Amino acid sequence: MTRPGLSPLLILYLFLAASFSAASVTQAIDPSDREAFVTATLLKAEALYRSRDQADHAEQAIALYKKIITDDPQQEEAHWKQARSFLWKGDRAESAETEAKITAYNRAQHHAQAAITVNPKSLGGHLMLAIAYGRIGELKGVIKSLFLITKIKTEIRMVLELDPTNDVAHHVLGVLYRKLPRLLGGSIEKSVTLLERAVEENAFRTQHYLELAQSYLLQEKKEAAIAALEHLLSITKPEDPIQAQYDRKAAETVLLHLKSSSIQGTTDQLPERQ
C-alpha cells in the first residue's frame, strides 16, 4: 500500500531504492523536492527498522533519521522514530553495558522530547518518552527514579487522551504498576487489568502476553500464565516479527520452568527483557 499523494515517479524511486544501501537512497530523489525527499527517506528508514535484526540495518535507520533531522529539526515523525530506534539499541546492549544502555535511552528521551516540542500532541513522542523514562528508571532503581513515576504516568495519560485504544500505553502502565512497590502505588490487580486491556486492543503484539504472564504469576495464577504464553507462541502474524522472535524464546524458557516445577507467585526464574 502506498501513501496518499505519492507520485508515480516517487513510487518508482522507492522501488529502486529497495536494492540500494541506506546511504544511496537519499541520492535517488532530488533533495530540492523536499517533501518527496523526506517521505522517501522516512519510508526507507522504516523498512530498515522493520528488518533491524539484519546486520547494520538498525544503525542505517538511525543514520537516515539523523539526516532528516539535521536537514530539518522540525520533522516530528523522524524524531519519535529515532527515539524508538535508540530504545531498541539500548535494549539490545548487553546487561553489563550499563553506560551504553543509559546513553541510548537518554538519546531516546532527547528525540521524544524534540518530537513533542515540534508537536505537543505527538502521540509517538509522548509514548516513546514514557518508555524512555521507564527504561532509565529500571537502570537507576526505584528509589533513585521516584521522580520519573509521575512523568511516566503524565506521558501515558497524554497518549490515552489522544488514543484511548492505544495498546502500548496500557502495556506500559500495566508493567509500571507491577514493578512499583505498593507503598508507591503499585498494584498487581491494576497491572493485570491493564495488560489484559492491552491484549484486547492488540492481540498480535507478543510482548503483551509475556508481561501478562509475569503479572499472573504474582497472583499465583500459574495456569493463566501458561495459557498466555502458549497463546503468544501460537501467533503466526505478530505485530512486530523481529520483537516476536525474542518474545518467543523468552516464552519457551518460562514455559519450560512452569511445566517442570511448582513455581507460584514469583518471577525470579523469568528471563530479562530480550
pLDDT tens string, the chain, 274 residues long: the values are: 333 444 444 444 444 444 444 445 445 555 557 888 899 999 999 999 999 999 899 999 999 999 999 999 999 999 999 999 999 999 998 877 889 999 999 999 999 999 999 999 999 999 999 999 999 998 888 667 788 999 999 999 999 999 999 999 999 999 999 999 898 899 999 999 999 999 999 999 999 999 999 999 999 999 999 999 999 999 999 999 999 999 999 999 999 999 887 655 444 445 545 4
Closest-CA residue to 38 (of 60, 80, 10, 9): 10
Task: For the beta carbon of residue 98, count every other beta carbon within 10 angstroms.
Answer: 12
Which amino acid, one-letter code, is at 19?
S
Residue 103, pLDDT score: 95
Residue 262, pLDDT score: 61
Domain boundaries, the chain: 72-164, 192-267
The DSSP output letter for 205 is -
Average pLDDT taken over every residue of the chain: 87
Residue 112, pLDDT score: 98
Rounded to 5 degrees, what angle do the CA atoms 31, 35, 41 make? 70
Greatest extent of the chain over all pairs of C-alpha atoms, in Å: 65
* C-alpha cell recorded at residue 100: 551504553
* C-alpha cell recorded at residue 267: 518471577
Question: How buried is 6 (Cβ within 10 angstroms: 0-12 exposed, 13-18 middle, 19+ buried)?
Answer: middle
Distance separating alpha carbons of residues 216 and 213, to the nearest angstrom: 5
* Alpha-carbon distance values, 192 to 82, 197, 198, 247 (Å): 30, 8, 10, 19
Model pLDDT for residues 120-174, shown as the tens digit of each residue? 999 999 999 999 999 999 888 866 778 899 999 999 999 999 999 999 999 999 9
Residue 94, pLDDT score: 86
Match 522530547 to its residue by C-alpha cell: 113
Rounded to 5 degrees, what angle do the CA atoms 158, 274, 149 make? 30
Stated pTM of the model: 0.83
Residue 246, pLDDT score: 94
Distance separating alpha carbons of residues 36 and 79, to the nearest angstrom: 18
Task: For the beta carbon of residue 249, count every other beta carbon within 10 angstroms.
Answer: 12
Spatial contact of 135 and 155, defined as CB atoms under 8 Å apart = no
**Helix or strand or coil: residue 56?**
coil
